[in-house]
Chains A and B, each alone.
Chain A
């Protein structure tokens, strides 16, 4: 079996007993706890979880954009959680990263954006210019060299971001929800490009996503992260064939069963602001409208008696009940919008 061989390859990223605690107003939040991961050279490693599970924090711990509260991060056997800021910067040249919102410099052209990391690393102008041209054609946008990000589509922006992340020949490419802001066909094209990069250049890719389809499409390995812990990990094959945990089944099965995903799974985002009542609106809504609600995600903060924040919910499968519930929420000054 192929995956057994792969597990024996060198771990290029190794995370040991990682813990990340965020201090918040009243106390602490464990964003990550007891994380142990080994990612092998040349793998496309998916890290999947619901919103708020801690996956974005985890990927930021790999390049230390977030400092772990405790634990270690090894890149190529080197403990980068223990090194000086200056040395860390050099390590980061070999860790490319792309983002959901692309994060291109808006006042620079596509070409200048790709030049940017080369300038940072102090690469001489001649070499940098050549490298930029290579990368532009690698991502298929040689004709857009002089375009500003505002003149590019989402997919094109992500291609430029990929080219930029590859500029300093990284060993690893970190992708934080890199396709979440893109439409399905663009997503496919970007994933295909990532796969090509992995095969052609041998770069290890770590993909953070909330979409199982992304994992299915290109990942070799997957870790499912739930409530700050790794619930399950292994090759995509193994995990898909025989999910061991509840959360793994939940993440895999709905996608497998397309019929069920229609209306009942439509999620809504509720936004609470200073106009919203601080009372138990959701509970009252359930009582008044008799519509059941499934809270997928919530981040609310109570500041001086007013709730701020957002919640992602699904309503029971009865359309009438759902409509009633939505109008009840709207009447209570809560912004309701469909997700996806």
Chain B
């Protein structure tokens, strides 16, 4: 009942999925971390209040966050083409994935940084720390366990999104599930891809949580 020609396809799918997920997560963090930091520092009562910037960031984040990924995926096709030269395949999928994940990550980073005890920030200010020193020496190191936990959530969410990209020929396991499992009614393929996705998600979740817990010196 299992078509052996499917096996290399599946293996390729796994690699594509990992590639899309990890590359998008990385790039989305490159954008999301500064956004998250600015969201925290620029807010009223933050270490460097800047009302206009805070408002702008919030608007951008909220709008991007409220567009369903599937719509975003299709809407940004011209932009994707501009950057990658194509709108299909794994590399092309990275573009909408990063656009969708960056504001999500910004919020995750924001909430992690906000968990840092204000008393510690105050103590640092009393020692003459500059806003930059507070970010790099206080907020980020103190929030590290929470940031890692957030990263585990981000990776698994992005992985889920990447499967959706199969709809527009984005490659990866999601693509295989749609093409074979859905369009051709090959239930076996569908089950295998879903099981594989579940395993990958579990893996990232588990590894992320373990690293986060191990890095936490509070207990």
A117: chain B residues within 8 A (beta carbon): 127-128
- B218 to chain A minimum Cβ distance, whole angstroms, is 5
User: Does B123 contact A97, Cβ atoms closer than 8 Å?
Assistant: yes
Known A-B contacts A89-B130, A120-B133; the reply to A99 vs B123 at CB < 8 A is: yes
A106 near B129 with CB under 8 A, answer no
Contact of A107 among B126, B130, B217 (CB under 8 A): B217
Q: Which of A99-150 contact B (CB under 8 A)?
A: 99, 101, 103-108, 116-117, 119-121, 148-150
Tell me how far the C-beta of A104 lies from the nearest C-beta in chain B, rounded to whole angstroms. 8
Closest B-chain residue to A101, C-beta based?
Answer: B119
The 0/1 profile, CB within 8 Å of B marked 1, for residues 198-212 of chain A is: 000000000000000
Q: Which residue of A lies closest to B130 (CB)?
A: A89
Which of B113-164 touch A at CB < 8 Å? 117, 119-120, 122-130, 133, 137-138, 141-142, 144-145
B51 at the interface (CB under 8 A from A): no
Determine whether the beta carbon of A120 is less than 8 Å from that of B127.
yes
Per the bound structure, the CA–CA distance linking A97 and B122 in Å amounts to 10
Residues on A with beta carbons closer than 8 Å to the beta carbon of B214? none
Is B138 in contact with A92, judged by CB distance below 8 angstroms?
no
Chain A contacts of B133 at CB under 8 A? Answer: 120
Report yes or no: A150 in contact with B126, Cβ–Cβ below 8 A. Answer: no
A95 part of interface (Cβ distance < 8 Å): yes
Which residues of chain B are near A90, meaning CB under 8 Å?
A: 128
* Inter-chain contact B142/A105, CB cutoff 8 Å: yes
Contacts of B125 in A (CB 8 A): 65, 92
Whether the pair B138, A150 counts as a contact (CB closer than 8 A) is no
**Shortest beta-carbon distance from B169 to chain A in Å:** 45
- For A164, the chain B residues whose CB sits under 8 A away are 127
A65 to chain B, nearest CB (A): 6
Complex Cα spacing A117 to B127, Å: 6
B123–A107 CB distance below 8 A: no
Contact assessment for B128 and A93 in the assembled complex, using a CB-CB cutoff below 8 Å: yes
B128, A106: Cβ atoms under 8 Å?
A: no
Nearest to B123 among chain A residues (CB) is A103
B119 to chain A minimum Cβ distance, whole angstroms, is 4
Tally of chain A residues near chain B (CB < 8 A): 33
| Whole-angstrom CA separation of A166 from B122 in the bound complex | 17
The distance from the CB of B158 to the nearest CB of chain A, in whole angstroms, is 27
**A105 to B129, alpha carbons, bound, how many Å?**
14
Are the C-beta atoms of B137 and A120 separated by less than 8 Å?
Answer: yes
A89 touches B217 (CB 8 A): no
Q: Interface range on chain B: under 10, 10 to 19, 20 to 34, or 35 or more?
A: 20 to 34
Render A78-103 as a binary contact track against B, CB cut-off 8 A, 1 for contact: 00000000101111110111010101
Would you give the shortest CB distance from B95 to chain A, in whole angstroms?
Answer: 35
With A and B bound together, what is the CA distance between A148 and B218 in angstroms? 8
Q: Are A105 and B138 in contact, CB atoms less than 8 angstroms apart?
A: yes
Chain A neighbourhood of B138, CB < 8 A: 105
Q: Do A107 and B141 contact each other (CB < 8 Å), given the known contacts A120-B133, A148-B217, A150-B217?
A: yes
| Chain A residue at smallest Cβ distance from B125 | A65
With a cutoff of 8 Å between Cβ atoms, the chain A residues found around residue B124 in the complex are: 116, 120
Contact A116 B137 (CB under 8 A): yes
The answer to whether A93 and B127 touch across the interface, beta carbons within 8 angstroms, is yes
Closest to A174 in B: B126
- State whether the Cβ of A72 lies closer than 8 Å to any Cβ in chain B: no
Beyond A99-B123, A101-B119, whether A120 also contacts B128 by CB under 8 A is: yes
From residue 2 to 41 of chain B, which have CB atoms closer than 8 A to chain A? none
Q: A105-B141, A107-B217 are in contact. Are A65 and B128 (CB under 8 A)?
A: no
Interface pair A107/B128, CB less than 8 Å apart = no
Q: Is the CB of A65 within 8 A of B217?
A: no
CA distance A93 to B133 in the complex (A): 14
Bound CA span A289–B86, Å: 79
- Asked if A307 CB lies within 8 Å of chain B CBs, one says no
A97-B127 Cα distance, complex, nearest whole Å? 8
CB contacts (< 8 Å) of B145 on chain A: these are: 107
The answer on a CB contact under 8 Å between B126 and A92 is yes
Q: Which residues of B contact A105 (CB under 8 A)?
A: 120, 138, 141-142
154-182 of chain A: CB within 8 A of chain B: 161, 164-165, 168, 174
Cβ B142 vs Cβ A107 within 8 A: yes
Q: Which residues of B contact A150 (CB under 8 A)?
A: 217-219
Nearest neighbor of B126 in chain A, beta-carbon distance: A97
CB distance from A174 to the nearest CB of B (A): 8
The 9 closest A-B pairs by CB, nearest first: A92-B128, A103-B123, A89-B128, A97-B126, A103-B119, A117-B127, A148-B217, A120-B129, A93-B128
A sample of 6 more A-B contacts (CB under 8 A), given A89-B130, A107-B144, A119-B137, is A90-B128, A92-B127, A96-B126, A101-B117, A103-B122, A106-B142
The contact sample of 21 A-B pairs, CB cut-off 8 A, is A63-B126, A65-B125, A65-B126, A86-B130, A89-B128, A92-B125, A96-B126, A96-B127, A97-B123, A99-B122, A103-B117, A104-B120, A106-B218, A107-B218, A108-B217, A116-B127, A117-B127, A120-B133, A149-B217, A165-B127, A168-B127
